[in-house]
Chains A and B, each alone.
Chain A
Amino acid sequence: MSELTSAAVPPIGPEDHVRGEGEGLIVYADLGCPRCAAVWAELGARRRRIVFRHFPVASKHPRSPALHAATEAAGAQGRFFEMVDSLYADHGHIDDPHLWERAERLGLELERFEADRRSDAVAARVRRDFESGIRAGVGSTPAVFDTHGRRA
């Protein structure tokens, strides 16, 4: 099992999902969390560089793990942020058939989307972000940091 002792927020790395230009913000977010949806919309409007890191609190939002996996699967086909935007825009439709609908609307290859989102590799990728958040002391979502790892 992994080490979960305190550690600084990891700096932006090659694995990260980054969108936009300029001064960056690192956001640990739960795709099932309404507060995160509101903050996401606000951050989008501010047009800054944003790094999305997965922080599903599964006990609180049982669908979150599936939603985070769906974004990674979409990302494998180049549509990570589009899927994030889509999920945050509509929390009422997050069951599997709705995910397939979203995937189709984004032009994703459905069979590959399904295989990817259920894969161990995707689960591990999501878990890596989650654990970095735990180590950085994230206790509620969204948790926003600047690129130096300070709370923003």
Chain B
Amino acid sequence: MDGMAASALAIALVGLGFWTLLRRRNVIWKLLGLNVAAGGAILFLVAIAHRPQARPPILGLGPGQSADPLPHALVLTAIVIHFATLALSLVYVIFLTERRHSQDVHKLEEER
């Protein structure tokens, strides 16, 4: 895919994710939106690394332009971090569901 198309897709994903995060009242939906937005940010970094007709940044794959390796390394780190935060927030949702019997933001917000 072209770098420009990929970055447009990435930015659209970020917007879509944030929109879901804002509009939905269910915490699980919110987390899904957040995850889509985070995926968009990661795709954005990959798109930044892309060059026209690029090959992977591995030695011995022939001549020609290669992709920028540094954003790829950053993406690797960012993916793991997002996985970790998602796991932790889902665990908190499980906990709140068990204790408060609700996943609705407005109900969770009521003073207890």
**A and B assemble together:** no
The interface of chain A, by Cβ under 8 A from chain B, is none
